[in-house]
A and B are shown apart, each in its own frame.
Chain A
């Protein structure tokens, strides 16, 4: 039995003895390693093994959460005693009670394959050699105007044990291997455009090689050179596959239990209503092997399941944990997303906007926000102005604005270029008649 599993079990016992009627405890530990290389030498190394304990308590139907990294036995006892005592000052909230034990469960960890058993095998010297090779590959692509390039490498192994007072217990472990580079170039006029390319995977063998990372970095740098705003315009938008999560992320917030329960959601009373044209389909899928957002169970102990988020033009169900499901009188789904899978199309984005005399490809965002209650949004953008699907200028210092409901109704089609290096597994998406503000 792991020390942190034991700590979680003991926390449940002690909290129950102190008067808690329900206890959920998580013990966790992780190893985190990082390296940065710049100018032909290591700039920074970091390494740590970390552990912690967190508990959720229900005491006389009163709810609280607590966490600590001070795991000395006496300190833990004091921590739990204070936690239980403090909880009694709160008001009752019986909706906080746990889910039924029968609804809890954990998917097969082995099938998800989230843990690379070779973690740590390449050792410090292997990591140093790898990050040096990445820097070498990046520098080899320098067209002559490079100011600075930094290569990054990281490895993380994390493990957690859930122990609930109703008898549910589960374990999860995962690894993450990543690397990438950021670079800055100089341009006439004094601007120093920057670009980056970062990749991560559950298994080391899945991470792209140094040449692939360097090539992607310089390709992205080409999209940031001589950026400038253009005149304001309304035109089709190609939302780049790597940028989908930032713009559609607020939609998930509006689908969340807190926003719906409190009436702060532009999607309240709109679940199930057809809001988008055919072709935009999103699934939440925690069961993807080696997926960056995959999981075996959620924070309520509910078994991870694939489910539709947006199908046939309508949102299928909100993101509801057990608490908000009770409040809304619905069945729980899950309080948060795992892997969000957007179905791809069968045409390139260049083809999809090939007939448009003007279109804007949005490759990244700068600042901006969305009003989850009204759906209004306004974001700064970088990208490319397109003419019949071909880039004719790199743009920056512009904004995209509108309303998310309206934007969803303007969906045209997904492209065929799904990005799988994120928990948002999306292709580029094309929308019609989007407002961009620029120099006039």
Chain B
């Protein structure tokens, strides 16, 4: 059976049957694997089946000259005894291999067997990423014109464009989570990402920059011409920008973060510290701050799995718990951590639907989805005008945090000096560093212009990468250390 036969007209997975039956995974097989996972006395277990297909297409040297595909199929089995985890996986979905993996995971427990469920039942899911045109139904011939059009627009936009690379990566993943209490959650998870890198040359000086788009959607995602053009124009314009940009001065100064991708500040400075596995172990700087004021009262930060079509959207988490919009900080007060099953049990609260994993090869843990700050009431122009001497950060590439110390960093690709309340000289390539709780306290103004960035962000934690989204209105932070020169 092909996955197409399991999707309804709205692009949602038909949950009247098991997708993985085609691989021999019947109800009886599930019961046998669950029983094996509980055979040494584990008090809970889950099975995570995954079948994914990915296609990539590359345009370089003015040719669409490389493509790739990958298929991944397997099962991850987790057995739990309290907060202790036994994990095993297999790419072989024969009953023998699945039971073998389950018995390996079961070794975490050393007591009497538990009982496997008899009442297996599928749970209903929302539809945060409807698909109109399946990637699996489109050949490379449907993809090639997209990257060609991106290349053509890039060269046409400015004669200084020297080289263009364009990539299109799409994937479809079917996952099935089976819980020891009998719940089965099946989800069809599409993803696509367009990427354009442009090298420009002027008077013998070259610079390169890139832009990308990503979302959980089918081929129709790229029907939006304005969105495609926005990506290409940004890649060209941001590359040209670098030709004339310099380094900002070094040291502490006020920083204005442009609306959109500056949500990386939230991701690094706040989001990771709110992941409850760090807090239940006492190693996050936010571990003793629940219910306390940690930011000005005009700051509200959420992590939201329900944003339709967003890269960070999920219909269900990888432990079969419903997704939600979780307020991390409400009006400046720390309101909730991001919980998986283990941390929720530790704290005696409901899971927040944040248990995520990279693939069936990894155990789930609390992860972000789409993290953003709710809009404030300041006019963005007024925020810039309030700074006498500082910097304005327009685009970003990466960040990192140290959970315990709270120190975080993010890399600004391009921006401007602010002098006398005005944007003046262009600047580029600078790392900004600060301390999370201190930076939160120093948020002085929040704009009314929330933008959820449409780029393809991937969050890394303990070797696992998961797709996320992030966003923010224009925000002023009183001071951060800017890695400039002079």
Question: CB within 8 Å of B: which residues of A?
Answer: 38, 41-52, 62-71, 75, 79, 82-83, 86-87, 89-93, 96, 124, 147-148, 184, 190-194, 224, 227, 229, 232, 262-264, 366-374, 376-380, 382, 396-402, 435-440
**Which of A41, A47, A378 is close to B430, meaning CB atoms less than 8 Å apart?**
A378
Check A396/B407 contact, CB under 8 A, given A42-B84, A43-B85, A48-B361.
Answer: yes
B71 contacts A by Cβ under 8 Å: yes
Residues of chain B within 8 A of A75, CB atoms compared: 71
**A192 B247 Cβ-Cβ under 8 A:** no
> B5 at interface (Cβ–Cβ under 8 A)?
no
Contact (A367, B431) CB under 8 Å given A194-B404, A437-B484: yes
Question: Which chain A residues border B88 with CB–CB below 8 Å?
Answer: 46-48
Asked if residues B281 and A148 are in contact (CB atoms below 8 Å), the reply is yes
Does the CB pair A46–B87 fall under 8 Å?
Answer: yes
Q: Which residues of B contact A398 (CB under 8 A)?
A: 433, 481
Residues of B within 8 A of A232 (CB): 250-251
**In the complex the two chains form, what is the Cα distance from A260 to B374 in whole Å?**
44
Segment at the A interface, from B12-20, B183-191, B199-207: B199-207
If A380-B400, A438-B251 touch, whether A70 touches B91 (CB-CB below 8 Å) is yes
Most buried by B among A68, A75, A262: A262
Most chain-B Cβ atoms within 10 A of its Cβ — which of A41, A262, A368? Answer: A368
- Which residue of chain B is the closest to A147 with respect to CB atoms? B282
- Interface hit among B31-39, B283-291, B297-305, B333-341: B283-291
| B73 CB within 8 Å of chain A | yes
B246: min CB distance to chain A, Å: 10
Contacts of A382 in B (CB 8 A): 407
Chain B interface residues toward A at CB < 8 A: 51, 55, 60, 63-74, 83-92, 101, 104-105, 107-108, 139-141, 144, 162-163, 165, 199, 201, 206-208, 242, 247, 250-252, 268, 281-285, 287-288, 361, 363, 397-411, 428-435, 437, 481-486
- Are A64 and B199 in contact, with the CB atoms below 8 A? no
Given contacts A51-B91, A192-B283, contact A90 B67 (CB under 8 A): yes
B409 touches A69 (CB 8 A): no
Complex CA–CA separation, A46 to B90 (angstroms): 12
Among A45, A229, A367, A440, which residue has its beta carbon within 8 angstroms of that of B400? A367
A332 to B78, CA, bound (A): 46
What chain A residues lie within 8 Å of B281 (beta carbons)?
A: 38, 147-148, 184
Contact assessment for B68 and A65 in the assembled complex, using a CB-CB cutoff below 8 Å: yes
Chain B residues with CB under 8 A of A371: 207, 242, 428-429
Report whether A193 and B405 are in contact in the complex, using a CB–CB cutoff of 8 Å: yes
Instruction: List B contacts of A47 (CB < 8 A).
Output: 87-88, 104
Question: A270 vs B285: C-alpha distance in the bound complex, in angstroms?
Answer: 46
Known: A70-B71, A148-B282, A374-B429. 15 other contacts (CB 8 A): A45-B86, A48-B104, A65-B66, A69-B73, A86-B69, A91-B63, A96-B65, A192-B285, A194-B402, A232-B250, A262-B163, A263-B201, A368-B431, A397-B434, A399-B433
A370 partner residues in chain B, CB cutoff 8 A: 429
Q: Contacts A227-B405, A401-B430; is A191 near B285 (CB within 8 Å)?
A: yes
Are B282 and A369 in touch, CB under 8 angstroms? no
Give complex CA distance A436, B250 in Å: 8
Question: Which of B72, B83, B85, B434 is A45 in contact with, Cβ under 8 Å?
Answer: B85
Chain B, residue nearest A402 (CB): B485
A367 to B409, Cβ gap below 8 A? Answer: yes
**B434 to chain A: closest residue by CB:** A397
Contact between chains at B139 and A401 (CB < 8 Å)? no
| B71 and A68 within 8 A (CB) | yes
Would you list the 8 A-B pairs with minimal beta carbon distance, nearest first?
A: A367-B409, A399-B483, A437-B250, A192-B404, A380-B409, A378-B483, A89-B140, A68-B71
Distance of A89 Cα from B432 Cα, bound (Å): 45
Contact B283 A87 (CB under 8 A): no
CB < 8 Å neighbour of A396 from B63, B163, B405, B485: B405
Show 5 A/B contacts (Cβ-Cβ < 8 Å), sorted by A. A42-B108, A67-B68, A184-B281, A193-B405, A262-B60
CB distance from B324 to the nearest CB of A (A): 26
Residues of A within 8 A of B90 (CB): 48-50
Docked complex Cα distance between A96 and B67 (Å): 13
Chain A, Cβ-Cβ closest to B91: A69
Q: Contact between B483 and A191 (Cβ–Cβ < 8 Å)?
A: no
Instruction: Say whether A93 contacts B411, CB under 8 Å.
Output: no
A227 (CB) vs chain B CBs: closest residue = B405
Q: A90-B66, A191-B404, A264-B199 are in contact. Are A401 and B484 (CB under 8 A)?
A: yes
Query: Is A397 a contact partner of B433 (Cβ separation < 8 A)?
Result: yes
Residue of A nearest to B246 (CB): A376
Smallest CB separation, A249 vs chain B (Å):
14
CB neighbours (8 Å) of A437 from chain B are 250-251, 481-485
Q: When chains A and B are docked, how far (Å) is the Cα of A373 from the Cα of B85?
A: 45
Contact of B107 with A124 in the complex, beta carbons under 8 Å: yes
Q: Taking the nearest CB of chain B, how far is it from the CB of A265, in angstroms?
A: 9
| Complex CA distance for A44 and B85, rounded to whole angstroms | 5
Q: How far is the CA of A299 from the CA of B452 in the complex (A)?
A: 40
Interface residue from B74, B162, B408, B431 paired with A401 (Cβ < 8 Å): B431
Known: A86-B139, A148-B283, A397-B434. A366 touches B206 (CB 8 A): no
* Contact A379 B483, beta carbon cutoff 8 Å: yes
Distance of A424 from chain B, by nearest CB (Å): 19
Q: Which residues of B contact A45 (CB under 8 A)?
A: 85-87, 105, 107-108
CA distance A63 to B287 in the complex (A): 52
The contact of A376 among B251, B284, B407, B428, by CB within 8 Å, is B428
**Could you tell me the distance in whole angstroms from the C-beta of A213 to the nearest C-beta in chain B?**
19
B residues near A92, Cβ cutoff 8 Å: 63, 65
The residue on B at minimum CB distance from A440 is B251
B208 in contact with A90 (CB, 8 Å): no
Q: Which residues of A contact B66 (CB under 8 A)?
A: 63-65, 90, 93, 96
Known: A68-B71, A373-B208. A89 touches B404 (CB 8 A): no
- Interface-central residue, B85, B140, B162, B481, by most chain A CB under 10 Å: B481
Taking a contact as CB atoms under 8 Å apart, the answer to whether A378 and B429 are in contact is yes
Contact A435 B85 (CB under 8 A): no
Q: Which of A82, A192, A439 contacts B251 (CB 8 A)?
A: A439
Residue from B55, B65, B242 having most chain A Cβ neighbours under 10 A: B65
Name the one of B64, B105, B285, B409 contacting A91, with C-beta atoms under 8 angstroms: B64
Given A192-B404, A194-B402, decide whether A48 and B89 contact each other with a Cβ distance below 8 A: yes
Which chain A residue lies CB-closest to B89?
A48
Q: Name the one of B287, B406, B482, B483 contacting A400, with C-beta atoms under 8 angstroms.
A: B483
Contact across chains for A191 and B482 when beta carbons are under 8 A apart? no
Given contacts A378-B483, A380-B483, A437-B483, whether A67 and B70 have CB atoms under 8 Å apart is yes
Question: With A380-B431, A399-B482 in contact, is A69–B206 under 8 Å at CB?
Answer: no
User: Is there contact, CB below 8 Å, between A377 and B104?
Assistant: no
B431 touches A379 (CB 8 A): yes
With a CB–CB cut-off of 8 A, which chain A residues contact B411?
A: 367-369, 378
Closest Cβ of chain B to A23, distance in Å, is 15
- Of the candidates B89, B285, B433, the one whose C-beta lies within 8 Å of that of A50 is B89
- Residues of chain A contacted by B85 (CB below 8 angstroms): 43-45
State A377–B413 Cα separation when bound (angstroms).
11
Contact A366 to B483, CB < 8 A, known contacts A192-B285, A376-B428: no
Asked whether, in the complex, the Cβ of B282 is within 8 Å of the Cβ of A184, the reply is yes
CB distance from B125 to the nearest CB of A (A): 25
Least CB separation from A229: chain B residue: B481
Known: A91-B64, A193-B404, A373-B207. A69 touches B72 (CB 8 A): yes
Determine which residue in B68, B88, B433 has the highest number of CB atoms from chain A within 10 A of its CB, and name it. Answer: B433
B409 touching A93 by the CB < 8 A rule? Answer: no
Question: B residues within 8 A CB of A148?
Answer: 281-283
Q: Are A184 and B250 in contact (CB under 8 A)?
A: no
Residue contact A66 to B68, C-beta cutoff 8 Å: yes
A64 touches B67 (CB 8 A): yes
Tell me if A50 and B361 are in contact (CB < 8 A).
Answer: yes
User: In the assembly, what is the distance between CA of A396 and CA of B207, in Å?
Assistant: 31
A225, chain B: closest CB distance, angstroms: 11
**What residues on A are CB-neighbors of B437 within 8 Å?**
190
